[in-house]
Amino acid sequence: MKKIYFNGDFITLENNNVEAILIENGKIKKVGIEKEILELKDDETELIDLQGKTMMPAFIDAHSHFFAVANNLLQIPLNECKSVEEIQNKLYEYKNVNNIEDGKWIIASGYDNNALTEKRHITKEEIDKVIKNNPVIIHHKSGHNGVLNSRGLEYLQITNETIPPFGGKIEKINNVLTGYLEENAFIENVKKIPMASLEDLVKLCDKAQEKYASYGITTAQEGMMVKELIPIYKKLVEDNKLYLDVIAYMDKKTEKDIRNAFKENIKKYKNRFKINGIKIFLDGSPQGRTAWMRTPYIDDKEYFGYGTMSDEEVKKDVEYAYEEKLQILAHCNGDKAAEQYIKAIKDTNKNIKEIKPVLIHGQLLGVDQLKEVKEYGIIPSFFIAHIYHWGDIHIKNFGPERANIISPAGSAIKNNTRFTFHQDAPVIEPNMFETIWCAVNRKTKGGKILGKEEKISVIDAIKAVTINSAYQYSEEDIKGSIKEGKLADLIIIDKNPLKIDIDDIRNVRVLETIKEGVTIIKKIKYKNL
């Protein structure tokens, strides 16, 4: 079936003047002048009058955690909590309103110690006061740390004698466990917590797809595919449950199990699921004070954060990715972690550009490091919304001078370095227009401007979440712009972001999301002629 969209603005990212587009068999068949496109209609062509709205390429998620977004729907949301007491009240209310039986795990997520009145993490004793007979785990908003109550520690067999893994921390004060776990100690123990039933998890994945699509995203990422997710993705693929494209990156520690389970999905789609490479973690989070830095945190001249892998391990994984022709994504928040990653790539003495290595987050990537980033073909994917959500915390942790150059997108453009943007969902909502707004305004929650010289244009910000993201996945020939022959992955929005005040960009609404010519989310009605 043919569809013609007309009478609106078109942001094509192809430097051409377009007044209408023709879609056929899931692809963009023709773009051009309205009169000429309308002449191509036949009796079965559906005509859609955009009524002055704007059409542009659908968004491509450069980094998130698809299953975590789904699983997060089962967890108690703590995002709005401003104190330890409010967290306690949320836990108590959930336990009692839902009649949760003793012994069953209670999971909460989204608290931020920086946003609490106490400016600290909750303790196991404070959780125990409201929930004694259930194991409880509370995920920090960063996803890199969290807190267990006494029952939770018992279930996971964490005692005073437990030795934390390399690149992780089990906090003790006066040789007494506080319940706080950090980085590898937290991440490895989370895997041991029982998941919901397979049936329930598959239903949640459908809701996660709705969430992504509501923000105009048609390609999502599973940024950390662990072996525990094999049954879930098996079910999604075998039952053809995905209507978004989902691209996965395997936890290097268990990638052999995953590859064996998805032999038909390695570097190619089967039922909209593709495994594209491997993922490694080189440090933690800046707001969680675990990002690995070349210079110390401003309030502690002896503390630099820390790495989570040895130089030898990183080099070995980079070489493995190259040999297997798999893309590698490396989590690097701090500039020291970035330095370790760049060095590993450099030391392989191979043409790593071929696999398009990605540096994920790059909040504190140094401007001086961009030269080598470009030289070795590394694609930085900036979590640029950090400027708004945690920019004031970055000032506190690193000082104004260093905070001014977090997510240095402006410098990357000057250096002719291609980059992408992401939200690391579920850390924050996968709201692309908020991200675009952050990139062009660089305002913190406190109203400060962080690095006006690092601001970029609206069109460059849009490219970072469309055509550049397609390039990151080596899908630029089929996605990311409105061009004849590409997939009809499109969105309709209520305002043209190129024509409004830049401060209003975060308020642009996605009205309709189209995947390969098929509407998957629609919030308004159009006049059909």
Both tokens of 339, joined, read 């330095």
pLDDT of 332 over the 70 cut: yes
Contact status, residue 225 vs residue 250, Cβ threshold 8 Å: yes
The CATH number fitting domain 2-58+486-528, selected from 2.30.40.10, 3.50.50.60, 3.40.50.720, 3.40.50.1400: 2.30.40.10
Give me the pLDDT at residue 525, please.
64
pLDDT of 315 over the 50 cut: yes
Cα end-to-end span (Å), the chain: 16
Q: What angle do CA 378, 379, 382 make, to 5 degrees?
A: 130
Give me the pLDDT at residue 79, please.
86
Quick one: average pLDDT of 353-366?
A: 97
Give me the pLDDT at residue 526, please.
54
Give me the pLDDT at residue 185, please.
93
Query: Cβ atoms within 10 A of the Cβ of 359, count?
Result: 26
Beta strands of 479-523 (E only): which ranges? Answer: 490-493, 510-515, 518-522
Give 380-398 pLDDT, tens digit per residue. Answer: 999 999 999 999 999 999 9
Largest CA distance in the chain: 79
Predicted confidence band of residue 473 (pLDDT cuts 50, 70, 90):
very high
Residue carrying structure tokens 């239903």: 203
Average pLDDT taken over every residue of the chain: 95
Give me the pLDDT at residue 16, please.
84
pLDDT of 455 over the 50 cut: yes
- What are the start and end residues of each CATH 3.20.20.140 domain in the chain? 282-479
Quick one: average pLDDT of 329-333?
A: 97
Q: What is the DSSP letter of 121?
A: -
Both tokens of 404, joined, read 């001014």
- What are the start and end residues of each CATH 2.30.40.10 domain in the chain? 2-58+486-528
Quick one: average pLDDT of 392-413?
A: 96
Contact status, residue 262 vs residue 275, Cβ threshold 8 Å: yes
Residue carrying structure tokens 């608290």: 111
- What are the start and end residues of each CATH 3.10.310.70 domain in the chain? 67-190
Q: Which fold has domain 67-190?
A: Diaminopimelate Epimerase; Chain A, domain 1 (3.10.310)
Give 63-77 pLDDT, tens digit per residue. Answer: 999 999 998 888 999
Q: Give all strands of the β-sheet with 176-183 in edge-to-edge order.
A: 76-77, 106-111, 136-140, 145-148, 176-183, 168-173
The span from the CA of 45 to the CA of 335, in Å, is 54
SS3 of 76, please?
strand
Predicted confidence band of residue 219 (pLDDT cuts 50, 70, 90):
very high
Give 100-142 pLDDT, tens digit per residue. Answer: 899 999 999 989 998 899 999 999 999 999 999 999 999 998 8
The proportion of the chain whose per-residue pLDDT surpasses 90, expressed as a percent, equals 89
269 Cβ partners below 8 Å, 6+ apart? 245
Give me the pLDDT at residue 529, please.
43
Predicted confidence band of residue 179 (pLDDT cuts 50, 70, 90):
very high
Give 487-510 pLDDT, tens digit per residue. Answer: 999 999 999 999 999 999 999 999
Quick one: average pLDDT of 152-156?
A: 94
Quick one: average pLDDT of 53-58?
A: 98
Give me the pLDDT at residue 15, please.
83
Predicted confidence band of residue 317 (pLDDT cuts 50, 70, 90):
very high
More confidently predicted of 526 and 244: 244
pLDDT of 527 over the 70 cut: no
Both tokens of 408, joined, read 């240095």
pLDDT of 191 over the 60 cut: yes
pLDDT of 335 over the 60 cut: yes
Contact status, residue 490 vs residue 519, Cβ threshold 8 Å: no
Quick one: average pLDDT of 92-105?
A: 90
The span from the CA of 513 to the CA of 144, in Å, is 32
The CATH number fitting domain 282-479, selected from 3.30.70.360, 3.20.20.140, 1.10.10.10, 3.40.470.10: 3.20.20.140
Give 27-39 pLDDT, tens digit per residue. Answer: 999 999 999 999 9
